[in-house]
Structure 1
Amino acid sequence: MVTLMTYAGAAAADAPGTRTGGVPLVPAGFEWPVCAECDGPMQFLAQVDLGGGLFSVFMCQNDPGMCDEWDATAGGNRAFVFGAGAVHAATPPGDGVTMLEEVCAVAFAPVDAGGYREATESWSRLTGRPAREVLGHTGTAAQWLQNDETPECGGCGRPMTFVVQLDEGHDHRTAINFGNGYGYGFRCEPCGEAAFLWQC
């Protein structure tokens, strides 16, 4: 079974739960992340409801391709696991590329399939909707485009647990920039650490 994340129309910029775009819901005292390479503020991509918390992803888009935003450890992206106190809408910095062009609500669709691509094709056939309206999936194994790059936790050194695989989006004009690939989010629940990378 693969749980697909599907496009469910426009959402408010500060909507709770799982969505792409908008502004992140964060705990008090949160500081907007900046790229370790260009020092510019990162773009907020998505938040995923963990059931009592949020997994949130940011990536540098100030000069696409110049910072190592695809790498889990180079500092060109950041992922966070926020607890139940993540209820404050963050204020984006006034400079840099910090927001996506669209805020998308997400619906979840369990599909009985052996993998993400198969599930996407099956969902598209059953619903008559374009496959591009699948925004990603949660809860099952990552479907790598290249080699398995599951990151290790910086705290305990163990392989992290898969959380979410993100597609670029339903509209190429407002899509996330993964070079026509996928983004992958991971967490270490005992340590509270998170990581993100993308492949194309």
Structure 2
Amino acid sequence: MKDTNKHQGLRNQLAKQLEEKGITDKNVLEAIKRIPRHLFLDSGFEDFAYQDKAFPIAAGQTISQPFTVAFQTQLLQVKKDDKILEIGTGSGYQTAVLVALGAKVYSVERQNELFKITSALLPKMGIRPKHLSFGDGYKGLPNYAPFDSIIVTAGAPIIPKPLMAQLKIGGRLVIPLGEGEQIMTMLIRKNETQFEKHEFGEFRFVPLLEDKN
């Protein structure tokens, strides 16, 4: 698990590129500079790890492109010690970025193969989310709710009601909504029953699968 000066240089270039594409949150850019994305990919992709592209990972899933990770993270406006629910741990890269920002991350992954790989990888890298779990992201983690914010890293046809219920008042839920192409959507919880909705253009994600068992 090598992380070299060359990798650091490539991360610095990537952060500069993301800034040029419109990422303004300095803390998010610093987190991108700190997290060794190449370690989340198969060694065959190592030379491409700092391109702003998505790549395949285990279980037919993908690691999101860095711009998408930075964009979703920026929308959350993460503060130190924020309690964040992440739906779709995936490779663990987004998890690592949130932890680097000082968040207490509770993450759910429904692909057992990925869950096992990522649960072993993150501690080896010294990245410690509060809780990783294998399960159905549609249900969230009611036992740990409420959350300061919720991030969904897979495309969903609808916003799962349990996730809305697990968000604190004043909290933000960021989710890519739609089939095929998704619209990045943010809900801000105003009170017990009201949510303010914002939309931020098209993105493409793997689908958020509901556990049918």
- Please give the TM-score of this superposition, normalised by the length of structure 1: 0.28
Give the structure with the larger helix fraction.
2
Which has the larger share of strand? 1
TM-score, structure 2 as length reference: 0.27
The answer to which structure, 1 or 2, has the higher relative contact order (CA under 8 A, 6+ apart) is 1
